[in-house]
Chains A and B, each alone.
Chain A
């Protein structure tokens, strides 16, 4: 019999939906060379809540110094109508003086924080109306993100200012925050339980007015700190929004755990959005200068194809 591939599918029996706070699109850009790969942590050296939070955040958003992926987004609305978008994403991390290896070492040491600023570049390939549309995000931790948008059909380049992070990401069921990462300091975290497979974290916003949820629970794989499920609950205690990683893989070059396919389902809105990742690559040396307004109008094909 052939060796089982390292491509993982989450079992269906897991709590219906489960989710990760962020991840989705950019989660795929991360990855981690995890030395202690599949060995579950022994009870004796079980990580603290703080360590779980930081490691998860690292795995979700901060691995590698940069990355790229091709993403196919399928939005299904409550009437069952579907629309697809195809985009290429580039990520660049403010290096916080440390190189990739140092970051990995910090991760393994367990007490480091990963909260640096990041930049994202998105190029839309399809639908045809969106072809050549580009989008730039400078993620900030202590203030609203900066975003720029270029619409070739109208020849308009706009800076999008003061925008809420908890709003729809390009019309999908994902929020910008799901995609670019929620500040770990915005929530209080508690470890609800530890199963054979998961750490289950409950996160409650410190400022209740800042988010539409009352709290959310994350199911984090003990083996590699990848968030497998996140469920959001409203003020009535009703679960209304679920993120599920349908499939993940290990990056061939660096061994990072990467999400290949993830679904966000919103019961209030109806329908869901599925993201599928291809051509995921890390540490491609994408220059910071590319994440500027001038490249919105001048497509950097070199990093996109």
Chain B
């Protein structure tokens, strides 16, 4: 009965339009004291609603939420004096400095001046924000904002810490630091409940609650989630054909529940504990991860729609050695600030080319110059044979672009958005009808034709945005952080679509801060502070970080090592 957080048959619904939508249904669980509990689930599973109920910011329609043995309806003030809560957007005052934000929260938590000073010093050391005390919160990087938000929630060492997706949009270095802080809190006896979209973070939790459709689908340790999958995961290789073709072939077999591209080959989850090699395929057993468990559990809960690759269009061509994008010594200044500092790379036709980097690395600026949305300060920039410094409009007709926020009209329906973009791209008559029908069919948008874009789940919005960008059949597709905030299953489906496009000869440029997505790319550029740190295939980049301590470095490890080495160089040279 001394569970720090307990949901007793909680139901919560919200009004939407004329009806009500149930966010949580008959939810019943408890969080064990002194542990880190991870909350995972697809988009719209009810994670944020659950967090808000736990913080006393929402009241349950039915049932009871008990925090530290107090009822959230009756005793919210006592609860809020003992918990720390960090909302998804950190809840910082952007025009207040780091110090002022901390002072405000210390004041609201009722800390005396002596305690406040002591505690703030500790937290500033812990979060390494000390040197930035006088900087405004709005001018901090995403990772620093997140640490400041956490510091504000930690001022009065909370007995229960609630973190709503604290690591979304944050680079691997900041994520690693955050975990160090969270594990430190656990040592001091705090209970932590955090929602996350990262599977590697789920593995680090003591316990996981899997939420789906407002109900608990499972609650266990990561190891227990993985156990039933032993012997069901394999790494499949076939040297003669590409990974993408192999994956396409594997995912259509009845025994294959999931097929995912990795650097070394295709990772497969099968329904029974046997390999199913065909032809020249090499099947090797590998250990199960939580991601497999997630896919398997949700796969049972929702029927899976494998992405059907439509017949390749006539223009389809195998990946060639033709250079379609050429960048040399590209620079961009904003005032005195150099956002992009002389970068160069080449993209071949039909490649999936990834631009990786933390927030503020210059990815989006580079991207905008490539799409002709922002003029370059200097350098060479050729896209599809067109010099972007002179003929931007001509090049724009040959590219498709999906921006970070999808750029859809929220109060237009799916069909209306498609119709608008088709006319914006100058499609007419029979071709227009044909392309609109193709978009609805290819992206399975039929049931969302008449739903306003604002009311669509994020994953469907992303599909609609992709459909809009492909209406004019561009040979090059630009995707700016298309998977940010989208749940793991939708991300996976999205990448299958990207793969099938690449197979048909479309060149895809993509930015992301999900390091696991880097594996899907043929070529990568790793950026930091406007410079290119490394480029090459995912294998090459990971190999560059290999040493005795890390014989098999992950992309995260590689990223962290490269950035740390780069920063050391910068310090040495300055």
Do A and B form a real pair? Answer: no
What is the interface of chain B, defined by CB distance below 8 A to chain A?
none
What is the interface of chain A, defined by CB distance below 8 A to chain B?
none
